[in-house]
Amino acid sequence: MTLAPTPTPQRLVIAVSGASGSLLGLRLLQLMQQASGWETHLVLSSAAVLTAKLELNETRETFEALATQVHSNKDIGASIASGSFRTAGMVVIPCSMNTLSGIANGASSNLITRAADVTLKERRKLVLVTREAPLNLIHLRNMTLATEAGAVIMPPVPSFYLGPCSLDDAVTQMAGRVLDQFNIDVPGMKRWDGPVQASTAAQNF
C-alpha cells in the first residue's frame, strides 16, 4: 500500500471576532487572496459583523467574498469542527476577550471556539490576535491558559521600529507578521535587518 501525499492546497482557518480592529481581519483575508496554493476557511462572529459595520462601514459580504469557504459560527458540524479535516492551523483576528475566554477554558459552544479547540488538540498552530486595553487579571490569566495549551498570543502591536507611515501601513505589517507564523510570505513586507543608521545610534547609546 502506498500512502497518499499530504493534500494540497494548504488550509488556513480564519476567525474574526467582535474585538476592535476589524481592519486586521479584512487585511489578513486580502493578503491571503494573494497566497497561491492556500485555501481559507472563514468564520465571523455576530459581534464581528457589528464591529465591522461600526468601524469600517463594511458588511459581512465584504469579508466573505475574500474567503475560499465561509462557515456559520452556529454550524458546529462544519468541516473545520473536526480534527480529521486537515488544516495548517487557525488565526483569530482580532480576538475578543470573550472568544479568548471560550478558547482558554475549552468552551466549544460555537464554531470559532470549537475550531480553536480542535486546532489545539491536534497540536496545530493557533494564533490569537487578542485586542483589549487595559488588561484585567482575567484577561491575563486566560492568555496564560491559552499559551499553556499551545496557542500563540499575538496582540496587534505596530512595529514602530520599521517606521509605519500610516495606520494602514501598520495594519498590513501586523497582518503580515501573523502570516509569518504560518510561513506565508507577504512580498515586500518590511523586515528589520539592522540598518547602518540604527547601529550607529546604538553605538552612541
- Residues near ligand FMN, by CB under 6 A: 17-20, 45, 47-48, 50-51, 54, 96-99, 131-132
> In angstroms, what is the minimal distance from the CB of 51 to ligand FMN?
5
Question: Based on CB atoms, which residue is closest to ligand FMN, 97 or 186?
Answer: 97
Positive or negative torsion for Cα 100, 19, 45, 40: negative
Strand (E) positions, 45-136? Answer: 69-71, 89-95, 125-130
CB burial of 102-137 (b: ≥16 within 10 Å; e: otherwise) equals bbbeeebebbbbbbbbbbbebebbbbbbbbbeeeee
> In angstroms, what is the minimal distance from the CB of 12 to ligand FMN?
19
Question: Based on CB atoms, which residue is closest to ligand FMN, 10 or 131?
Answer: 131
Question: Based on CB atoms, which residue is closest to ligand FMN, 35 or 81?
Answer: 81
> In angstroms, what is the minimal distance from the CB of 85 to ligand FMN?
22
Coil, strand, or helix at residue 157? coil
Are 61 and 95 contacting, i.e. CB atoms less than 8 angstroms apart? no
> In angstroms, what is the minimal distance from the CB of 201 to ligand FMN?
34
User: CA–CA separation, 48 vs 17, rounded Å?
Assistant: 5
Question: Based on CB atoms, which residue is closest to ligand FMN, 54 or 107?
Answer: 54
Are 43 and 112 contacting, i.e. CB atoms less than 8 angstroms apart? yes
> In angstroms, what is the minimal distance from the CB of 126 to ligand FMN?
15
Residue type at position 110:
N
**C-alpha angle 39/62/171, rounded to 5°?**
80
Residue of minimal CB distance from ligand FMN?
A: 18
Question: Based on CB atoms, which residue is closest to ligand FMN, 98 or 108?
Answer: 98
Question: Based on CB atoms, which residue is closest to ligand FMN, 131 or 177?
Answer: 131
3-state secondary structure string across 41-52: EEEECHHHHHHH
> In angstroms, what is the minimal distance from the CB of 203 to ligand FMN?
40
